[in-house]
Amino acid sequence: MGYLEQYKKWIESSYFDTETKAELASIKNNEKEIEDRFYKDLEFGTGGMRGVIGAGTNRINRYVVRKAAQGLANFLIRQRETPLSIAIAYDSRHKSREFAEESARVLARNGIKSYLFDDLRPTPELSFAVRHLRCNAGIVITASHNPKEYNGYKVYGEDGGQLPLELSNAVLEEVNAIQDITTIQVMDFDMAVKQGLITIIGADVDDAYMSAMKALVVNRVDQHVIDNCRIIFTPIHGAGNKPVRRILKETGFNCVTVVPEQELPDPNFSTVKYPNPEERAVFELAIAMAKQQDVELIIGTDPDCDRVGIVVRDERGEYVTLTGNQTGCLLLDYVLNGLHEQGKLPPNGFVMKTIVTTELARKIAEAYKVKLVEVLTGFKFIGEQILLRDERGSEKFIFGFEESYGYLAGTYARDKDAVVASMLIAEMFAWYKSRGMTLYEGVVELYQRYGYEREGLDSFTLKGKEGLETIQKAMDVLREQKADLFDNIGIHAVRDYQSGLRTVIKTGKEEAIRLPESNVLYYETEKGFWFCVRPSGTEPKIKIYYGVTASSEQESQNALEQLKSKVLSRIKPLLA
């Protein structure tokens, strides 16, 4: 069915509500907008299904959510005959509660029990709840740190991890097999509750979640040191307010002040342009407070509280944001050092990072003689390896992180968790203070010990159908020309994760890459630097990652700027 036919069906069918029809009627003379809303269905990427809120098959709305829930129900019913249950959570975004309830109503109509949280909760608590309640799957309604216009739908497996590629593709097949969205039926919400097909959950799961995290405390410094650790926290209008404040208080941090303007849930994220703790701009209010109150550490979590960013004071007293790589390496070294000093470092332990995460992590792991496992971009791949290596294997997971501000310690959850990360950041802050050091000095110490690694990221958004086509054409050109396009850099080898081959340029020697297929190109330069090109799995965006190493901070900064300039001079024309 073409996009105009789909549009007509949504306008005319009695299945769709009047609000949806009115929204679609308002664009009746805009064929390009109609095409963009109906030329395809939203698809599952590395982070699930995510899109702009609105009417249409290429938007996220109650009907697209129903279709996703029905596809998941069909998948689970085909897999198992026993009674099925699913945990459902949601964040502070527009329509998050509505989409969560719609999912539960569809599942109830299919005889599947839902455990629905009574209020917004962090995404990682959903991951925990799936395991804690022994559910067959989990759903969380969130668009993470995307702008306010977005929402999303993420599916988790019974291990508490995001669905691996094979299973997410199987669910997608079930979703796509639903030819007529108007055939999907839902149960009345109150009736489903009465019949026990929807159970509201809350405090009991919260308590168990907190207990699991507190078991991961690494170093307990004297309380008088902790009492001198003043922290400003901002949940950036999201789900982190209550759980982060609670875990900090219960681990002894009583001097935590919340940014009042960003404390309460707000789907418009009214104090920020973009609710992303990777951006310094979201910390403007917190930094102003820190200056006024003489506070050394600021912690900020994104709307669904799976990512965390921090701001620290440097040697000049200026407030600087740490990158995800810097925070991740600080935490990695802190955790490994703490376990080592206490004689608790497991001999079969392993840590993880993604392919675009700093190589400094590898050096830290080698220093503690701990195995480092590298996975594709996306925390779902870290969760998958915890299942395979720890739960089903003989290895012990210690810590994992990705450059995009996601961290996890322990196996209670299988997704990045800003709550446990905030706890570890706070106690790491106290540990450095007990040594007479700041967190900024801790970063410098790591560089002095292991070398000045520096990373960078450029991203380009090309909206609409034409934008996606341009991105794919650019990837096709890059694959076709291999290293020739970057003759001004000097490429040693190219890793093509789509073909599964690493090619050494001078010799032509090829070797297999033992990771899942993915639309990613990774370039190793002759100088020992690297850069990586990949389309986003959740947005119409192409990302370019960079990494260099040098013997000084200035030298690494110069090397990064030169590498970025050379790479962009060849890639930007492909996106024009």
Query: Which residues lie below 8 Å from residue 337, measured CB to CB, with a gap of 6+?
Result: 368
What span, in angstroms and rounded, lies between the C-alpha atoms of 375 and 349? Answer: 16
**The pLDDT of residue 56:** 97
With cut-offs at 50, 70 and 90, classify the pLDDT of residue 263.
very high
**The pLDDT of residue 167:** 87
Tokens found for residue 173: 């097949």
Examine the pLDDT at 538 and tell me if it is beyond 80: no
CATH class of 40-201: alpha beta
**The pLDDT of residue 457:** 95
How far is residue 144 from each of residues 276, 381, 419, measured CA to CA in Å?
9, 17, 15
Three-state DSSP at 547 gives: strand
With cut-offs at 50, 70 and 90, classify the pLDDT of residue 168.
confident
**Would you call 14 a catalytic residue per the annotation?**
no
Residue whose entry in the numeric block shows the structure tokens 């990064």: 560
Examine the pLDDT at 220 and tell me if it is beyond 90: no
415, 161 in Cβ contact below 8 A?
yes
End-to-end CA distance of the chain: 31
What span, in angstroms and rounded, lies between the C-alpha atoms of 349 and 264? Answer: 40
**The pLDDT of residue 479:** 95
Of 85, 114, 127, 144, which residue is the catalytic one? 144
Same fold, 40-201 and 210-450: yes
With cut-offs at 50, 70 and 90, classify the pLDDT of residue 554.
very high
CATH 3.30.310.50 fits 453-575, yes or no: yes
Examine the pLDDT at 105 and tell me if it is beyond 60: yes
With cut-offs at 50, 70 and 90, classify the pLDDT of residue 369.
very high
Cα–Cα nearest to 217, from 431, 424, 415, 414: 424
What mean pLDDT do residues 98-127 have? 98
Sorted by where each begins, the domain ranges of the chain are 40-201, 210-450, 453-575
Q: For residue range 420-443, what is the model confidence (pLDDT) as tens digits?
A: 999 999 999 999 999 999 999 999
Q: For residue range 498-509, what is the model confidence (pLDDT) as tens digits?
A: 999 999 999 999
Runs of H (alpha helix) within 435-572: 439-450, 464-481, 553-571
**The pLDDT of residue 537:** 63
**The pLDDT of residue 42:** 82
With cut-offs at 50, 70 and 90, classify the pLDDT of residue 80.
confident
Count how many Cα atoms sit within 13 Å of the Cα of residue 110 in the half-sphere of its side chain: 26
Tokens found for residue 398: 């210690």
Cα–Cα nearest to 38, from 181, 149, 177: 181
Task: Dump the DSSP string for 97-166.
Answer: HHHHHHHHHHHHHTT-EEEEESS---HHHHHHHHHHTT-SEEEEE--TTS-TTEEEEEEEETTSBBPPHH
Residue whose entry in the numeric block shows the structure tokens 């050091």: 437
- Between 307-316, 537-546, 551-560, the lowest mean confidence (pLDDT) is in 537-546
198, 402 in Cβ contact below 8 A?
no
Three-state DSSP at 515 gives: coil
521, 479 in Cβ contact below 8 A?
yes
How far is residue 172 from each of residues 37, 69, 165, 166, 388, measured CA to CA in Å?
19, 11, 10, 10, 23
CATH number of the structural domain 210-450? 3.40.120.10
Indicate the helix (H) or strand (E) that contains 298: strand 297-301
What span, in angstroms and rounded, lies between the C-alpha atoms of 472 and 466? Answer: 10
Q: What are phi and psi of 25, to 5 degrees?
A: -65, -30
Burial 71-99 (b: 16+ CB within 10 A, else e): bbbbbbeeeeeeebbbbbbbbbbebbbeb
Q: For residue range 486-529, what is the model confidence (pLDDT) as tens digits?
A: 988 999 999 999 999 999 999 999 999 999 899 999 999 999 99
Examine the pLDDT at 374 and tell me if it is beyond 70: yes
Q: For residue range 273-293, what is the model confidence (pLDDT) as tens digits?
A: 999 999 999 999 999 999 999
Kindly report the pTM of this predicted structure.
0.94
**The pLDDT of residue 447:** 97
* Average pLDDT of every residue of the chain: 95
What span, in angstroms and rounded, lies between the C-alpha atoms of 338 and 349? Answer: 14
69, 107 in Cβ contact below 8 A?
yes
With cut-offs at 50, 70 and 90, classify the pLDDT of residue 79.
confident
162, 156 in Cβ contact below 8 A?
yes
Q: For residue range 38-72, what is the model confidence (pLDDT) as tens digits?
A: 998 887 655 578 899 999 999 999 999 999 999 99
What mean pLDDT do residues 232-238 have? 98
